Amino acid sequence: MATHRTKMLIIGSGPAGYSAAIYAARAMLEPIVVQGLQPGGQLTITTDVENYPGYRDVVQGPWLMEEMKAQAEHVGTRMMYDIITEVDLEGGSPFRAVGDGGDEYIADTIVIATGAQAKWLGAPGEQELGGKGVSACATCDGFFYRGKKVVVIGGGNTAVEEALYLTNHSDDVTLIHRRDELRAEKILQDRLFKSEKTSVLWNKTVESFEAGEDGALSHLVLKDTQTGEQSTIDADGAFVAIGHAPATELFKGKLAMDEGGYLDVQPGTPKTAIPGVFAAGDVTDHVYRQAVTAAGMGCMAALDGERFLAAIEDEEPVEAVAAE
């Protein structure tokens, strides 16, 4: 067990965490990144990435994250293969965090970039066909299903928004919902029902996702919640849209959160209610949830962290004179 001292501790290692690290390291803050359970974040389980600026050809998610990590290390970031299990934010800076193995981290500032995970149905074939027809992000993967038949599973705002977005690529979008009415906002429902490209299957749950001979998604097996009757629906793509779960368990009771568990920040900034503690990426963003927006927020967190540290340094001599 060791103690690690840093001007900036970054918890999480997706696009937000790595971007924060790059900016912090270039500002000579000697940041430490604690990578967590999934080094590289959600992009490590994403195959084709076509919407990250700077790459004319499709790149692979894991490769992109390895490049971000290498860049962060190149400019002076220290990577720790650890999981933070405890944080002490009371009393202000410096803050204290403890890793899974007992290592202690003392930091003048903290950037929380722990991300969020898509909620899954848990149905057979769902994980096996991930990247082969099953996805949890229409904005990320909808482009690959141009002119193909797709389905969206869910009944809230996210599901309806995903279904409407997919009409940009497909003329055959089916929303599958387990109840007989949607939970989405009325304005979204109106748009859905007015679209000639969408249809709704009511009172249906997904029993399984089935592959075709080519190993990709071929159809879904459904079950009627009223009668128990089974049926199938052909689909080239299936988008699970039942919400996301931010990784904020560690901060419950310590930082303000919204009803979905996302960390509250001052609008337009990564600043939490505690000076010196910042949140970036999907852990605080339930609207956009894109790699590029997460990276931008990581940059903002590092810049605000740098300003916070500069302000502390400016105050120290004044306090010393006052004490004399």
Query: Residue 117: what pLDDT?
Result: 84
Three-state secondary structure call for residue 152:
strand
Query: Residue 118: what pLDDT?
Result: 82
71-119 pLDDT, tens digit each: 999 999 999 999 999 999 998 999 999 999 899 999 999 999 999 888 8
Query: Residue 324: what pLDDT?
Result: 46
Res. 316: pLDDT tops 70: no
Query: Residue 317: what pLDDT?
Result: 57
Predicted structure pTM score: 0.76
Res. 50: pLDDT tops 90: no
All domains in the chain, ordered by first residue:
3-118+245-323 (3.50.50.60), 134-240 (3.50.50.60)
CB neighbourhood size of 103 (10 A): 16
CB 196 within 8 A of CB 172: no
By CB atoms closer than 10 A (0-12, 13-18, 19+), residue 23 is buried
Mean pLDDT score, 177-183: 96
118-174 pLDDT, tens digit each: 889 999 999 999 989 999 888 888 999 999 999 999 999 889 989 999 999 999 999
H-state helical runs in 115-251: 138-141, 157-166, 186-194
Measured between alpha carbons, how far is 189 from 199 in angstroms, rounded to an integer?
12
Query: Residue 47: what pLDDT?
Result: 67
Query: Residue 321: what pLDDT?
Result: 43
Residue with more model confidence, 324 or 311: 311
By CB atoms closer than 10 A (0-12, 13-18, 19+), residue 119 is middle
Query: Residue 234: what pLDDT?
Result: 98
193-248 pLDDT, tens digit each: 999 999 999 999 999 999 999 999 999 999 999 999 999 999 999 999 998 889 99
Q: Any idea how long the chain is?
A: 324
Instruction: State the Cα torsion 157-158-164-168 to the nearest 10°.
Output: 160
Res. 303: pLDDT tops 90: yes
Average pLDDT of the chain, as a whole number? 93
Mean pLDDT score, 186-192: 95
Bond into 94 cis (ω within 30): yes
Catalytic residues: 137, 140-141
